[in-house]
Amino acid sequence: MNDDIIKADSYDFDYRIEHGIVLAFFYDELDTHCRAMIPILEEVADTYYEYARIIAVEVEQSPDIAEIFAVNTLPTVILFKDGKMYGRIEGMNPPTAYENAIEDLISIGN
């Protein structure tokens, strides 16, 4: 992962989602689909750097966070705005799925 995706864990997860639009990417380093998602999310992060952040939560290292949000499918991206969960996108998806979700979150409150 490049610097556009910030690793998060049980200790700083709440802080990371507290402000703005955040896509929390739940993954397993050994999972093929999760590894394939990384370039897609890096592209989204590059395009929407002014509007949203992407954090990565490795489920083996932070099982408590995965349990709180009932992450049963990998990869899963959970969408937050100002600490509130607005939805989730499970499995492999094209960049447009995440871009559309960010656009929807940008429009909330404007």
Domain map of the chain by residue range? Answer: 5-107
Q: Which CATH superfamily is domain 5-107 in?
A: Glutaredoxin (3.40.30.10)
| Average pLDDT of the segment spanning 90-107 | 96
Cβ-based neighbours of 12, under 8 Å, separated by 6 or more: none
- Alpha-carbon distance 34 to 45, whole Å? 16
Q: What share of the chain is helix, strand, coil (3-state, %, to 5)?
A: 35, 30, 35
pTM for this structure? 0.95
pLDDT of 32 = 96
Residue 84 is predicted with a pLDDT of: 97
Structure confidence at residue 1 as a pLDDT band (50, 70, 90): low
Alpha carbons 11 and 15: distance in angstroms, whole number: 9
* Token couple for 30: 């050994």
How far apart are alpha carbons 2 and 75 in whole angstroms?
A: 18
- Say what percent of the chain tops pLDDT 90: 94
